[in-house]
Structure 1
Amino acid sequence: MPDLAYYASLPRSRGAAAALLLDDLGRVLLVKPTYSEGWFLPGGVIETDESPLAACVRECREELGLVPRLDGLVCVDWGSPRDDGVDSVNVFVFGGAISDAELAAIRLPPDELSDHVLVAPEKIPELSPAHVSRRMEPSLRALADGRPVYLEDGREPAFGAAGRPAG
């Protein structure tokens, strides 16, 4: 029988899931929250007992009014605690595509999102907060390569001998 008191004493971590959706021209879909500055990928917090993929699907349904085609995980980004009091978080980014018909069918929840836009990847740092834009270039590269990337604060850690992190 597992020691439930021991497991209850372990630290818990926060998680979020987002969808990196590209149109046929390679533009990225961003949404504008009503409660925060800047533009973000569709997504949000992983609820208790919810997998990262289930959270991404749920958030797309809630935020866009549809579930786009998701092709797989492109990035896991561990974000360290921020100076503004936000705890550390594991962000799972799933890549996929969004068609013109899906774009026309988007229905934003007005109490949560005020707008959506397709942008060229190089414009994301101008529109998104640093903690969001930092993972875009590695995530887009991972999507194109078909190989997920692991990041810490938006950067790929250097791995030394035998796959151990260097340093």
Structure 2
Amino acid sequence: MRIVHTYFAVARGMTMGVRAACFDDAGRIFLVRHSYVPGWHMPGGGLERNEVAEEALIKELREEGNLKIIGRPKLIHVYFNTGASRRDHVLFYRVDVVQTAPRGPDREIVECGFFALDNLPQGTTEATYRRLAELAGEQEPAHIW
């Protein structure tokens, strides 16, 4: 990750990404496990130059889970992501989705799937739990991812 952020430090003054809490019609959340970082995360990724955030969100959800957004994404909060670098921000959305086809593993996504909120997989990240608590109104949104 440090190499990627070093590259982006040269290519971009600031990095920004999108991430989403993706719910199916049964109320389950979609999570991914990457090959390059431990734990289960909500899907998302970085914005490219000249890319609109919502377009990046649509692209990332399609790539990471074969997910199609139903309705409009709801922007929940903007976070400073100090875990990635001192210049990274994350736009966090809540979306309803359908999966258009199963998503098999590849070099980036090792595993993915929908999970009941009361039965998240072992290794779900603390940030994921915090975002879910914020969505449920159990705590105020933080400013740090």
TM-score when normalising by structure 1: 0.64
1:78-109 CA distances to partner (integer Å, 9 max, x unpaired)?
Answer: 22523xx633432112222233xx26x13245
Aligned to 2:8: none
Gapped regions of structure 2 (runs ≥ 5): 1-11
Larger Rg: 1
Q: Report the residue type matching 2:39 in the other structure.
A: G
1:137 aligns with 2:133: yes
Count of residues in Structure 1 that have an aligned counterpart in Structure 2: 132
Q: Which has the higher strand share?
A: 2
Alignment of 1:69-88 (within 5 A): 69-82=70-83, 86-88=85-87
Q: Report the residue type matching 2:25 in the other structure.
A: D
Distance 1:151 1:114, change over 3 A: same
With a CA cutoff of 8 Å and minimum separation of 6, indicate the structure with the bigger relative contact order: 2
Q: Report the residue type matching 2:85 in the other structure.
A: V
Tell me whether 115-124 or 45-54 shows the greater mean CA deviation. Answer: 115-124
1:12-64 CA distances to partner (integer Å, 9 max, x unpaired)?
Answer: 33211122211222111101111110011111111122121111111112222
Question: Which stretches of structure 1, 4 residues or longer, exceed 4 Å deviation after superposition?
Answer: 122-126
Q: Which has the higher helix share?
A: 1
Aligned to 1:152: 143
Distance 1:94 1:136, change over 3 A: same
Aligned to 1:47: 48
**3-state SS of paired residue (2:54):** helix
User: CA–CA distance in 2 between the matches of 1:137 and 1:125?
Assistant: 16
Give, in angstroms, the shift of residue 134 of structure 1. Answer: 2.0
What is the Cα-based RMSD across aligned positions, in Å? 2.8
Alignment of 1:44-123 (within 5 A): 44-82=45-83, 86-99=85-98, 102=99, 105-108=101-104, 110-123=106-119
